[in-house]
Structure 1
Amino acid sequence: MLEHFKKHIDVSLPFLKGKRLLLACSGGVDSVVLAHLCTKMGLNVTLAHCNFGLRGEESDGDETFVKNLGKALGVEVWSKSFNTKDYLSKNKGSVQMAARDLRYHWFKELLESHNLDYILTAHHADDSLETFLINLSRGTGIDGLSGIPEQNDSIVRPLLAFSREDIVNYANKHGITWREDSSNQHSKYLRNKIRLEIVPKLKQLHPTFLENYRLTQGHLGQTKVLVQNHIDEIRSGLFKREGDIYKINIEKLEKLNPIEPYLYELFHNYGFTEWNDVKDLLNAMSGKEVVSKTHRLLKDRDVLILSEIKEQIAERFLVFEDAKNISTPISLQFEQVETVEKSDANVIFLDKEKLNFPLQLRKWEKGDYFYPFGMLGKKKLSKYFKDEKFDMISKEKQWLMCSNDQIVWVVGKRADERFKVDSSTQQIVKVTLIS
């Protein structure tokens, strides 16, 4: 197996050589064998062990075992204890999901704080088959049927080319000891039930079932690449980037047939899973939206606007008379000058005596109006936005500079006539938007 492992790294994962690797080690046979193989091959690994405290003395024994393994192999070991039950009381989900969240959050912290390159996990071919069956039982697309990927960003799984039988045989042949997790024998967990009851029967039906699955997985992986290439081409034609948002033409989107799988492939990476809601949005009134945990999809006339959900900031900020430069919520520079110079949309000149400090920076509100510079009379801000063809996201992002709640400047767009410099002006304030 060692020679097969070396060849696999050389052919499929050569980028691991010479890198600093964090190896997730539970103390079970899979991760212990991976640690042995990596050190024998000369890969630069550090072991990381999570003690979730769910099995009392058994959990502590696993931690001690991994620390001793690190000493025997001559590699560093980092371990951390977690209050998993407390985490579960504050967050919804299963014990397995809680442990996964805690584990990978810590691993990624280690990567950043210790300048490491990749996380190695000991998932193998049987794990991938179990994941395939779990996803199949719940209903899934091609992503779920493709099993566990060999690499997800910084997470690499070098043992996916090997079966659980290969790993156990290698450990027994070389006198390698490991720890058994008693919870792996509990059939109340879906994965364990599949591992202990279903997979053995499938292998009895066909002795080469696992190998046939791996062959099928390879075919599915190739099909997935073809689908992704097609979707990338469709997305590049549909998703038009404007600043930090994407606009998607609804008429062109509706021409895709069948539309449901296209919607899935185009939007699932942004966290959207309720496909009927996304589909219904195409014929909804402007202003309707659907949201995922990370993104927002908004109907605005003939387009959908895709934007990332960002942390909300305070709606009003004060600008005091002595301010020179501010950076929150936007970057502005204030100067007292002698004369009015040539300006553009990002620069305005104001009569200081017409201003009441502190000024305010805020977003627009229903009923807002101003007196556009160079025009007679007032205009509702909503009408100004419509005339200037602001989409709904742009309106929500637009900042206003106000004096006593009167709009002085639609920042970066249009100044107000009431605060302009005239022949009676004694003090001139120049305000510059720093983009």
Structure 2
Amino acid sequence: MGKFESSPVTKTFLSAHQKFLTKENRIIVGVSGGPDSMALLYLLHRTDTDSVAVHCNYGLRGKDSDKDQELVEEMCKLWEIECVAVRPEIDKNSGNFQNKARDERYRIFEELKSEYGADYIATAHHRDDQVETILQKLLRGAGMGSWKAMSPLDGEFFRPLLDIPKSEILNFVQLMNVPFRMDGSNEESTYARNFLRHAWFPDLSRLFPGWKENLLRLPDRADEYTAMADTILAGCLNGTTRLNRDRFLSLPDTIRQGIMHRFLEKSIDGLSVSAAFLNTLNTLDSLQTGNRISINERYDLLRDRDEFVLSDTETAESSFQKVVIQQNHLQKIFRANGLILRIENFNGSFDNRSLKLDSEKVAFPVTLRRWKEGDQFTPLGMDGTQRISDHLTNRKISSAEKSDAFVLESFDGVIVAVIFPHSAADGQIGTISEQVRCSDNTQTTVTIRKS
């Protein structure tokens, strides 16, 4: 067995390569010119993996940055790997340059992945990066459920060197005579990762031997925590976006925050939860039905009788259009906001799947809109008026769904129909006003159905 085949770096890479990739896969690989990415590029070359190398030259180090690019381009030419070098335009004096550079780099990777029809984006993250990632999460106060480690394959990202320490990679590139360049800025402690590497890690290794291995076990503890949280959460769920109020409030105060965070995390992928919301959980027991607490700018937690419901405040508004309807529009089928409206001859029959309004009693044009606080109408069969909000409650429309109800308002400002977001318990799709009820003299009706 040769020195390439016997290297721990090669063995680890081949294990991940064989497990996750096929011969047909094309890879976008980020290459800075440093030892880690050059080792990865060399491994892809030696395994004849269909790859496109991408180098981002930020120009931070002047001629040295250009030399990094030259090295990557020269080795790609030698190894017959297509190379794309780009110069992202980022203000070097702006705050959080590292974060902005990373975001732009990954945007470029994504764009080229699409352009080249690639399957994965390969990066040269190694075990030391894994340690730094976990430690930074701890230092930033991330909850236990967030102590996740990077994975060798995470969606479209392929990280075949995660189990290899930096020292082994340095040994590998020297052993295989793989050229690389060292970025002097990595030796400075300006950025968080560099500070940890140079100011903390040496002393931690001296004072606490084996600390890296101990830290790398934390993701296992996080997995155990998540499994336990999911088990507890399962006992409180009424569907994916609803919590049984009594069961949730019966949980010990010390775990409510964690279980709520897990509920939101599972309900909406990538949902950002404000600390202010988590700090209000002790007020949930006094939250009245119909009231809500803001989770973030888009989502609320709504009290709906015996449930807490995750409510998306944008979806309803973005999918609804206020519509003004002329009488001649209804001479044929008219569609709006999931409804079908039409003027039809009246045959004297009624059914729960439609609403029928005497067309002679409707003042056109009519407006189809969301109901709002203060709206009132005279429900069919009643003499007096009733608030729309009370009518929806009486018809057992939940607080979470009330906002999705429509009203049809005539030209004279009279609400002539309320359309429920879903059929009521008796199967009816809404309620018409007493003022537009059909009689023996009715010839034609404005008929409303769900599409």
TM range (shorter): 0.7 to 0.9
Q: CA deviation at 1:78?
A: 3.7
Compared with structure 1, are the counterparts of its residues 409 and 30 closer, same or farther at alpha carbon in structure 2 (3 Å cutoff)?
farther
Q: CA deviation at 1:113?
A: 5.1
Q: Deviations over 1:210-229 (max 9, x none)?
A: 4x34xx52x43333333322
Residue 181 of structure 1: aligned partner: 183
Counterparts of 2:41 and 2:348, CA distance in 1: 69
Compared with structure 1, are the counterparts of its residues 114 and 198 closer, same or farther at alpha carbon in structure 2 (3 Å cutoff)?
same
Preserved contact between residue 343 and residue 446 of structure 2 (Cα < 8 Å): yes
Alignment gaps of 5+ in structure 2 = 421-428
Residue type of the alignment partner of 1:386: T
User: Which of the residues 401, 404, 416 maps onto 1:408?
Assistant: 416
Deviates more, 1:193-202 or 1:255-264: 255-264
Counterparts of 1:355 and 1:55, CA distance in 2: 75
Deviates more, 1:287-296 or 1:337-346: 337-346
Preserved contact between residue 364 and residue 400 of structure 1 (Cα < 8 Å): yes
Corresponding position: 1:335 with 2:342: yes
Compared with structure 1, are the counterparts of its residues 222 and 208 closer, same or farther at alpha carbon in structure 2 (3 Å cutoff)?
closer
Residue type of the alignment partner of 2:227: N
Residue 450 of structure 2: aligned partner: 433
Deviates more, 1:146-155 or 1:129-138: 146-155
Deviates more, 1:151-160 or 1:111-120: 111-120
Counterparts of 1:397 and 1:264, CA distance in 2: 27
Q: Deviations over 1:261-307 (max 9, x none)?
A: 33343335632242212343343344131223553222344432113
Q: SS of 1:23's equivalent? A: strand
Counterparts of 2:208 and 2:164, CA distance in 1: 18
Q: CA deviation at 1:381?
A: 0.6
Corresponding position: 1:70 with 2:76: yes
Q: CA deviation at 1:164?
A: 0.9
In the TM superposition, what are the counterparts of 1:151-162 in structure 2 within 5 Å?
151-162=153-164
Residue 300 of structure 2: aligned partner: 296
Counterparts of 1:193 and 1:148, CA distance in 2: 21
Residue 246 of structure 1: aligned partner: 241
Counterparts of 1:345 and 1:79, CA distance in 2: 65
Counterparts of 1:343 and 1:179, CA distance in 2: 81
Residue 271 of structure 1: aligned partner: 272
Corresponding position: 1:363 with 2:365: no
Counterparts of 2:333 and 2:188, CA distance in 1: 63
Counterparts of 1:344 and 1:64, CA distance in 2: 76
Q: CA deviation at 1:339?
A: 3.5
Preserved contact between residue 32 and residue 56 of structure 2 (Cα < 8 Å): yes
Q: Deviations over 1:75-128 (max 9, x none)?
A: 333444433229x97xxx622222232233343344455543322221111111
Counterparts of 1:342 and 1:233, CA distance in 2: 52
Counterparts of 2:436 and 2:385, CA distance in 1: 13
Q: Deviations over 1:8-54 (max 9, x none)?
A: 45655612224332222223221221121123223333223334454
Residue type of the alignment partner of 1:272: V
Q: Which runs of 4+ in 1 moved over 6 A?
A: none
In the TM superposition, what are the counterparts of 1:23-38 in structure 2 within 5 Å?
23-38=29-44
Q: SS of 1:84's equivalent? A: coil
Residue 329 of structure 2: aligned partner: 322
Preserved contact between residue 144 and residue 225 of structure 2 (Cα < 8 Å): no
In the TM superposition, what are the counterparts of 1:63-142 in structure 2 within 5 Å?
63-85=69-91, 94-112=96-114, 114-142=116-144
Q: CA deviation at 1:362?
A: 1.7
Counterparts of 1:419 and 1:104, CA distance in 2: 60
Alignment gaps of 5+ in structure 1 = none
User: Which of the residues 15, 18, 22 maps onto 1:17?
Assistant: 22
Which of these two proteins has the greater Rg computed from alpha carbons?
Answer: 2
Preserved contact between residue 417 and residue 432 of structure 2 (Cα < 8 Å): yes
The TM-score with structure 2 as length reference comes to 0.81
Counterparts of 2:349 and 2:68, CA distance in 1: 73
The TM-score with structure 1 as length reference comes to 0.83
Counterparts of 2:364 and 2:115, CA distance in 1: 45
Preserved contact between residue 22 and residue 120 of structure 1 (Cα < 8 Å): yes
